[in-house]
Amino acid sequence: MSQLKWWETAIIYQIYLRSFQDSNADGVGDLQGITSRLEYISNLGVDAIWISPFFKSPQNDFGYDVSDYFDIAPEYGSLDDFKKLLIKAHSLGLKLMVDIVAAHSSSEHPYFQESRQSKENSKSDWYHWVDPMPDGTPPTNWLSFFGGNAWSWEPQRQQYYLHNFLSSQPNFNFSNPHVLDYFEKIAHFWFDFGVDGFRLDAVHTINSDKPPYKDNIPNPNFKTGPLPLDQQPFFRQLHDFAQLNQPGIQEFSARMRRVADSYEDRFLMGEVDGDNEDAMKVSKSFTQEGRLHATYNFDLLEWYGLTVCEMKEIINKAVGTFNNSGKLCFAFSNHDVPRSFSRQLAPLNVKDVDGKSMQLLLLKLESCLIGSACIYQGEELGYEDVRDIPIHQLKDPWGIEFAPIFPGRDTCRTPMVWDADLKNGGFSEANETWLPIGKKHLKKAALQEVKRSDSIYNSFSHFLMWRKKQPAFVEANRMTTLSGNQRQIIFDRISERQTLRCCFDFESLTASFEEI
């Protein structure tokens, strides 16, 4: 019987902290709120939780702009609150992962504040500073994910600095060994604290090259169309090996792995992406020997959903690259894309009035693939996107930039509803929550769904209990190539003690399993 690490087969529950549970009536979720709901997560049957960034931050990108990596943002609590959360999670058998944002910091980080002052200070080369072109323009054609140029002018230095996202999120210069040392120190701090692993945010956007930089090339497959993402200039370019996925990133991967390996049973999962056809190639480069344990796979997170045939193509490509390993983490939803409940109904063309059977089928499918899987809060309740948020209430800077054509990510980030009979659905006693409560979610309040024997929550919980008893799922990461007709996904999961045929039928919206 093979002995796999916990993370090789883990079901991970993703918590978007601001929207999970508010404990102090300020309208924002916090660490004490998570602690109060840990039994709900544990009873679902998952193995670990991943919490979105809770570090000190001006919250321009809601925690993905860190000003202090060694302390907690006061609106979320304190280090003592986090310690209590960690202790309770471990007592319930849950591993705990934190979200480390390495590629960039907040512009309010003291090191950037020092760096921007002059070209001759101790942090002068901690960020990417480049002289203008002779005509005063930026050094490359790189664009920001969130709109506009990826270079901003700093009058004090008379240079441009790089930011792949907001101008208030300057990119660290990872060609500077001191930056690598700094992130080793951050990793040691949180591992010493007792966390079990890191989800490393957007590591493909780490910049480690030195000038002169290469321009991105035009995307030959880009077509302007009616869909929101078709309107955004960023996608007109191909970015790999110029702006993104620079080879030098792997020094960061190796350094972080050495830190993780100096502790017992710690896990590193990198969020990576690449220009379409290179996605698996990129994942493979990040998980070579001595680098990250696994990567977070974006391919099932297609913004507009996937047909059954498209799912099969994606999963087959992943299996062809990573079979017999736990180096991939699959997900159908997260805090950056529309919820699977909403975006998959049309592409799958399912005969499902309330979407409940489809959602359960997707949860089971991702839980049966090789490697780990991430379940985003609310998936276990069948939450749909909240698409009626007024423009003046939008908070996501990406959505604000491109509204009203593109609503951004707020639609999948609205607060959890716990009890439909309580104020704000039991999320908060505040007069106003940071994002509005989804009215449709009141019909799927978590604590009410727990009491319904036929709810998605209970059906999935029973499935996960059964899954943990199947050697084919928990003792090996081996599966066959997918087969089945255009409405089916069929494959075998194989271990030394069991071969289990898994069939997911998108016509009847049922899953069946047979030992062979």
Query: Which residue, 190, 259, 206, is CA-closest to 51?
Result: 190
Q: What is the DSSP string of 367-434?
A: HHSSSEEEEETTGGGTPPP-----GGG---HHHHHHTTT--TTGGG-PPP---TTSGGGGS--SSS-S
What is the C-alpha to C-alpha distance for residues 340 and 385, in angstroms, rounded to an integer? 9
Structure tokens at 381: 């309740």
Q: What does the DSSP 8-state code read for residue 25?
A: S
Nearest-5° angle of CA 38, CA 69, CA 86?
20
Nearby residues of 462 by Cβ (< 8 Å), 6 or more positions away:
none
What is the C-alpha to C-alpha distance for residues 300 and 289, in angstroms, rounded to an integer? 25
Cβ contact 493:478 at 8 Å: yes
Cβ contact 82:31 at 8 Å: yes
Structure tokens at 437: 């409560």
Q: Is 46 exposed, middle or buried (0-12, 13-18, 19+ CB in 10 A)?
A: buried
Nearest-5° angle of CA 155, CA 157, CA 162?
85
Buried b (16+ CB within 10 A) or exposed e, 259-292: bbeeeeebbbbbbbbbbeebbbebbbbbbeeebb
Q: What is the DSSP string of 155-215?
A: TTTTEEEE-SS-TTSPBBBTTSHHHHHHHHHHHHHHHHHT--EEEEETGGG-B---SSPPP
Please list the active-site residues: 201, 271
Q: How many CB atoms lie within 10 A of CB 140?
A: 21
Phi and psi of 177, rounded to 5°? -60, -25
Q: Is 155 exposed, middle or buried (0-12, 13-18, 19+ CB in 10 A)?
A: exposed
> How many helices and strands, by DSSP H and E, does the chain display?
15, 18
Cβ contact 269:198 at 8 Å: yes
What does the CA dihedral 175, 57, 188, 77 come to, rounded to 10 degrees? -170
Phi and psi of 134, rounded to 5°? -55, -30
Q: Is 436 exposed, middle or buried (0-12, 13-18, 19+ CB in 10 A)?
A: middle
